[in-house]
Amino acid sequence: MRESLSAFRRVFSNPGLRRIQLAWVGSNVAAWAYTVVIAVYAFQQDGAYAVGLVALVRFVAAGIASPLTGVVGDRLPRARVMLGTDLIRIVLFLAIAALVAAGAPSLLVYAISVVGTVVGTAFRPAQAALIPSLARTPEELTASNVAASTTESIGIFVGPALGGILVAAAGVEIAMVVVAALLAWSAVMVALIREPARERKEGAEAEGLLREAFGGFRVLASDRKLTLLAGLFAAQTFVDGALGVLIVVIAFDLVPVESPESWVGFLNSAAGVGGLVGALVAAGMVARGRLATNFGAGLVLWGAPLALVGWFVDPWVALAALALTGVANTIVDVMGDTLLQRAVPDDVLARAFGAVEGLMLAAVALGSIAAPFLLDVLGERAALVVIGAVLPAAALLSWPALVRIDASAAVPARELELLRGQALFAPLDPSTLEYLASRVEPVAVAAGETVFRQGEPGDRYYLVEAGRVSVSVDGAAAPELGPGDAFGEIALLRDVPRTATVAALEDTRLLALEREHFLAAVTGHPDSTAAADEVVGARLGALRPALGPAA
């Protein structure tokens, strides 16, 4: 826990991470308050059916838009996307306030509210994709996700309460002005963030919008562990969608309480309070590692309490069960988000989060539809047991794969140390370095064996872990290279044949990084590109008299 708290302190001592968390406070509380204000307005204007219909349209529109808005977070600077999202929503929500004050048709207000929801889908993927570039260590990245999830839990009960109080005390118009003010706070915080520059890959601009939008789905499908994580996220939100219906059933039909209407609120609040407790639990896991198995344990804790409610019909058991689901929800969010951030390449990270968000919204809708069907077929108690068993069953079936993910995610310290020691990698953020360290391949070279010859095509970048290699240019000897040295970057960066011959003087251990991973990392970061140009220039200058190190 001391290590975890130390990571939190580093999060809030990091200006970029501190500002992104403060921005999330404004944006998240505003989103929840806005949801309640629109629901109350719809009920006052057109009744209960309008509340459900408006929510459904907003929900479906957001699910369709999420993969598309994720593209924006990869095409443009992410802080700028977040700022633009806040500013557009401010204008839309002030327009709603003016329309309501003027007595405009409710359909116009609903239409603007749907547009505001769609615009808002760009904020979270851009935020999740920006955090890794601002974090300085893997622990800081996880701690930042804990802080974001804590803010989300606070927003779950502060936002709706604020929206309800404002509508009751001052009306819909004033409530929407306050929501806009919260977003203005978010915009100010985002505007102060200094985002590290990124370069888009060559040819990316020519890719069509729809094809680029599906880039997030493609990257999820291309890696088994990402496919598994996305599927488990969808399973969790399926149960969450069913829970939205089951909470009402628990309060009205299952547990013996005098005021079921109030208990609907109590049960929802219990989940929100549990989310705050979950932040403390997740904080204790920051230094522990094993993110994937923590994620699986969170899934078990998410579903099992719901099954208990079906077995033990008691209002206090129900409250405790919903609090545990809140704890589990934070654990699942933090661990899952961090795993995605550490596994997905930066250039598609926002699209990957947009794709996951789209899948989750679709799963929530399916859960909401499935719950009434299960209630009719199985009855109330059996439906709770079945829904509650979904996540523990999914976690247990996936457990061997989750253990393998943790085993493969262990960052090789030696590889990371060697990468950090190279000038062209020094400007890269910790998550990118970690990504590269996990993809280097060990190569054993026996004494006298040639690594590559001058004039051959270049396909790998090499780091010397142990041993010594000789370097020769046109047959002339150059200085030897030993542990901590690297070679092979010129052929990759300049797309030319090898400019030297390298052979092992003794049994040598090398670490090889494939061309595509090397180029994606170095050319995707302006400072790294500039450092690489300096390294190449220095080595080419040294090679002219055939006396410099290999390239």
428 lies in the same domain as 400 = no
Tell me what the mean pLDDT of segment 339-349 comes to: 75
The verdict on 497 and 392 lying in the same domain is no
The answer as to whether 551 is a domain residue is no
Same domain for 275 and 388?
yes
401 and 265 fall within a common domain:
yes
Which residues make beta-bridge pairs with 508? 445
- Number of helices followed by number of strands (H, E) in the chain: 21, 8
Hey, is 513 helix, strand or coil? strand
Residue-wise pLDDT tens digits, 168-182: 788 889 989 999 999
CATH number of the domain that residue 364 is part of: 1.20.1250.20
Q: Return d(Cα 126, Cα 110) in angstroms, integer.
A: 26
CA distance 454 to 18: 50
- On whether residue 2 sits in a domain, the answer given is no
Q: Decide: 478 and 550 in contact? Cβ < 8 Å.
A: yes
SS3 at position 486 = strand
Same domain, yes or no: 445 and 466: yes
Question: In which residue are the tokens 């505003």 written?
Answer: 30
Question: Is residue 352's pLDDT more than 70?
Answer: yes
384, 410, 225, 227: which is closest to 307 by C-alpha? 384
* DSSP β-ladder status, 486-487 and 460-466: antiparallel
Asked if residue 75 and residue 180 are part of one domain, the reply reads: yes
Let me know if residue 473 belongs to a domain.
yes
* Residue 144 belongs to some domain of the structure: no
pLDDT for position 546: 45
Q: Does residue 306 lie within any of the structural domains?
A: yes
Percentage of the chain lying above the pLDDT 70 cut = 79
Instruction: Quote the pTM value.
Output: 0.61
> Rounded distance, CA 420 to CA 171, Å?
57
DSSP code for 14 = S
Report pLDDT for 261.
52
Give the pLDDT band of residue 317 (cuts 50, 70, 90).
confident
Most confident of the following: 88-92, 347-351, 401-405, 541-545 = 88-92
The phi, psi pair for 70, rounded to 5°, reads: -60, -30
Q: Can you tell me which residue has the tokens 């220039």? A: 537
Our count of domains for the chain comes to 3
Looking at residue 202, what is its pLDDT? Answer: 45
Query: For every residue of 396-465, which 3-state class applies, written as one string?
Result: HHHHHHHHHHHHHHCCCHHHHHHHHCCCCCCCCCHHHHHHHHCCCEEEEECCCCEEECCCCCCCEEEEEE
Share of the chain above pLDDT 90, in %: 17
Residue scoring higher pLDDT (247 or 79): 79
CATH number of the domain bearing residue 82: 1.20.1250
Of residues 229, 244, 214, 221, the one with CA closest to residue 366: 244
- Take residue 540 and report the two structure tokens written for it: 């080419």
Residues 184, 236, single domain; the answer is no
- The verdict on residue 5 lying in a domain is no
Domain end point (choices 346, 375, 410)? 410
Q: Which of 410, 441, 468 represents a domain boundary (last residue)?
A: 410
Whole-Å CA distances, 51 to 40, 43, 128: 8, 6, 30
> Rounded to an integer, what distance in angstroms lies between the CA atom of residue 126 and that of residue 519?
23
What tens digit of pLDDT does each residue of 123-132 get? 888 888 888 7
The three-state secondary structure class of 292 is helix
Q: Do residues 113 and 50 touch, judged by C-beta distance below 8 A?
A: no
Strand order in the sheet with 501-504: 450-452, 501-504, 469-473, 476-481
Can you tell me whether residue 518 is helix, strand or coil? helix
Tell me: do 383 and 449 sit in the same domain: no
Residue where the block lists tokens 């204790």? 284
Is residue 87 scored above 90 in pLDDT?
Answer: yes
Statement to judge: residues 176 and 227 lie in one domain: no
Please list the residues that pair with 481 across neighbouring strands. 469
The rounded distance, in Å, linking the Cα atoms of 132 and 346 is 9
Are 431 and 302 contained in the same domain?
Answer: no
- List 461's β-bridge partners, or say none: 513
Residue 519 maps to which CATH number?
A: 2.60.120.10
- Residue of 209, 77, 217 lying closest to 85 (CA atoms): 77
Note down the domain range covering 391. Answer: 211-410
Task: Flag whether 245 is in a domain.
Answer: yes
What's 348's DSSP letter?
Answer: G
pLDDT in tens, 453-495: 988 888 889 999 999 999 888 878 877 888 988 888 888 877 7
Report the C-alpha gap between 518 and 493 in whole angstroms.
9
pLDDT at 327: 86
Give exposure, 142-156, as e/b (b: 16+ Cβ within 10 Å): bbbbbbbbbbbbbbb
Nearest of 443, 390, 396 to residue 415 by alpha carbon: 443
Whether residues 395 and 419 share a domain: the answer is no
The pLDDT of residue 503 is above 70: yes
- Region 138-164 average pLDDT: 72
Using the 8-state DSSP alphabet, how is residue 548 labeled?
S
> What's the mean pLDDT in 94-119?
91
> Which DSSP state fits 251?
I
- Residue 332 parent element (H or E): helix 315-343
CA–CA separation, 186 and 184 (whole Å): 5
Give the residue, 99 or 167, on which the prediction is more confident: 99
* Position 342 in a domain: yes
Which carries the bigger pLDDT value, residue 81 or residue 61?
A: 81
Asked if 497 and 438 touch (Cβ cutoff 8 Å), the reply is: no
Asked whether residue 537 carries a pLDDT value surpassing 70, the answer given is no
Domain-terminating residue out of 385, 410, 435 = 410
Mean pLDDT to the nearest integer, 387-404: 92
For residue 397, count other CB atoms closer than 10 A to its CB. 10
What is the structure's pLDDT at 523?
Answer: 67
Considering the domain architecture, whether residues 221 and 187 belong to the same structural domain is answered as no
